[in-house]
Structure 1
Amino acid sequence: MSEMEKTRFRSSEEYVASEQLMSAVNIAVALQKPLLIKGEPGTGKTMLAQAVSRALNRPLIIWNIKSTTKAQDGLYVYDVVQRLYDSQFGGADVSDIKKYVKLGKLGEAFSAGQDVILLIDEIDKADIEFPNDLLWELDRMEFYIPETGETVKAARRPVVIITSNAEKELPDAFLRRCVFHYIEFPTPELMEEIVRVHFPDLEQNVLNASIKAFYAIRNLPTIQKKPATSELVDWIRALTIGGISPERIEREIPFAGVLLKKNEDLDTLERSKRNRR
């Protein structure tokens, strides 16, 4: 197998990807640019990084972003409080500042010494300035630690995958540095492939009825929180455990609370069922 073949991402039995998504991943790897993935929750954005890690046989480092996350957190943290404590009460030698510097997830990826996948998950949860604060580090693949006078530089450039739920707009300067792909919600045909990954022995008539009912619910005009792939998988598992027939699936939509998580949406479904009778 050639080096090019080793670095190509393909759809697999564990992760079903569209041709467009596979192309976006491979282009980002070839261009050595971050891959920005957007899409509604449940379209497999986070799982994509896991699939790329398996396909390219590279370790995966995950940086989960929260509303309080700062760009500095991903580089390193200098525990000055612990050093002060040790100097006063610990009786330890505190002259070696390196002992009190801990690398963040970006720092871990840069210093790994091997090819890795870095997932920056849900970047839009952080402050609007967060992406801009990472521009230099993602461009240069290095950062400076003034406390130790050291520069952490990536000997092997990591594959960077960044996910966003499109909850807020990202800065233009950041977007220009990324390869962008929007994961469309799967078509019924692609969804059937995805479900088959989880339920290879599922009866076809049960699968057909479940997917038909699932998309009918998603297409109800007043649904506030549309069910996603993970809800469908859980729902089918509940249906099989309950031994529900295909006829009942479409007629009754049993265990609807697995699919819908808002009272208003459950009420909408009940009204829809009454209108069909």
Structure 2
Amino acid sequence: MAFESTSSYIATDALKQAVNAAVVLERPLLIKGEPGTGKTLLAEELAESLDTQLITWHIKSSTKAAQGLYEYDAVSRLRDSQLGVEGVENVAHYIKPGKLWEAFTANKRVVLLIDEIDKADIEFPNDLLQELDRMEFHVYETGETIRAEQRPIIVITSNNEKELPDAFLRRCFFHYIEFPDRETMQAIVDVHFPDIAPKLVGEALEVFFELRDAPGLKKKPSTSELVDWLKLLMADNIAQEALYSRDPAKALPPMAGALVKNEQDTQLLERLAFMLRRQKGRGR
């Protein structure tokens, strides 16, 4: 198996090497990078390129590691026993398989995405160490052991909201997705909009990277936000003309709400534009 870019996803050489190395080593692939750089999309494209199922476990702050294995509904069983429901003695009826259970028992090798693992409690990664190492776990209520028939390819994403434990990191193959340079970004745009006007792309990328380089910006616009912005510009000729004739001393580009997502950054850009206008005024 060798992962490559697809018709809808541009992967750098470093990312392709990381994916293939994790598969060879049979280690989880831990992916970090700015939000919007395609971490989650990588797992989707990997599953599609392998023609296999993607099983996604979205992690929240309240998620517990045990939920990825299974959940035992003792409350329902107690209620059913009080109501005299038939089959209540079979505890297996009250066990709900989790995402790891699904991945371990799939008929063919699947891609398992554990998305945004850093949102959970700090102990969450360590609680999965044994299961990810051995590819098996014990169901105490039934006495059975669930083993991986086909070892899943595991992709774990993190937005760096909190540090992950060293013991967990040792068991992963790590890759940080660098923010795309202009050439790579052009290739990404070409994938999404093969018929886009070169003039529009050139102007849009110029403004986009200027925004990202603005000093003090709290949230830099991401790749996915650039794609949204271009979609809006392509649908609005007036916005395109405003972009082409844009004065750099003006604070925000047309349809800026697709790129700038908070009032602090809006105010910062307005101040920078004001300072630029003052400098131009003094230069006359």
Decide: shared fold, TM above 0.5. yes
1:90 Cα deviation after fit? 4.8
- Say yes or no: does 1:191 pair with 2:185: yes
Q: Name the residue aligned to 1:65.
A: 59
Letter paired with 2:133: D
1:40 Cα deviation after fit? 1.1
CA distance, structure 1, for counterparts of residue 84 and residue 196 of structure 2: 62
Q: Does the aligned pair in 2 maintain the 1:213–1:250 contact within 8 Å?
A: no
Please give the TM-score of this superposition, normalised by the length of structure 1. Answer: 0.95
Letter paired with 1:256: A
Q: Name the residue aligned to 2:258.
A: 258
- Stretch deviating more after TM superposition (242-251 or 81-90): 242-251
Please give the TM-score of this superposition, normalised by the length of structure 2. Answer: 0.92
TM-superposition CA deviations, 1:30-61 (whole Å, max 9, x none) = 11110000011011000000010011111000
Q: Does the aligned pair in 2 maintain the 1:43–1:228 contact within 8 Å?
A: yes
Q: Does the aligned pair in 2 maintain the 1:213–1:249 contact within 8 Å?
A: no
Q: Does the aligned pair in 2 maintain the 1:210–1:249 contact within 8 Å?
A: no
Shift of the 173–250 alpha-carbon distance from structure 1 to 2, 3 Å rule, reads farther
Shift of the 247–213 alpha-carbon distance from structure 1 to 2, 3 Å rule, reads same
1:272 Cα deviation after fit? 3.0
Q: Name the residue aligned to 1:247.
A: 244
What is the CA RMSD across the aligned residues, in angstroms?
A: 1.3
- Say yes or no: does 1:99 pair with 2:93: yes
Match of 2:148 among 154, 161, 164: 154
Q: Does the aligned pair in 2 maintain the 1:79–1:100 contact within 8 Å?
A: yes
Q: Name the residue aligned to 2:172.
A: 178
CA distance, structure 2, for counterparts of residue 250 and residue 172 of structure 1: 50
1:250 Cα deviation after fit? 6.7
Q: Which runs of 5+ in 1 are unaligned?
A: 1-6
Q: Which runs of 5+ in 2 are unaligned?
A: 278-284
CA distance, structure 1, for counterparts of residue 15 and residue 63 of structure 2: 28
3-state SS in 1 of match to 2:57: strand
Shift of the 217–90 alpha-carbon distance from structure 1 to 2, 3 Å rule, reads farther
Letter paired with 2:271: R
When the two structures are aligned, how many residues end up with a matched partner? 271
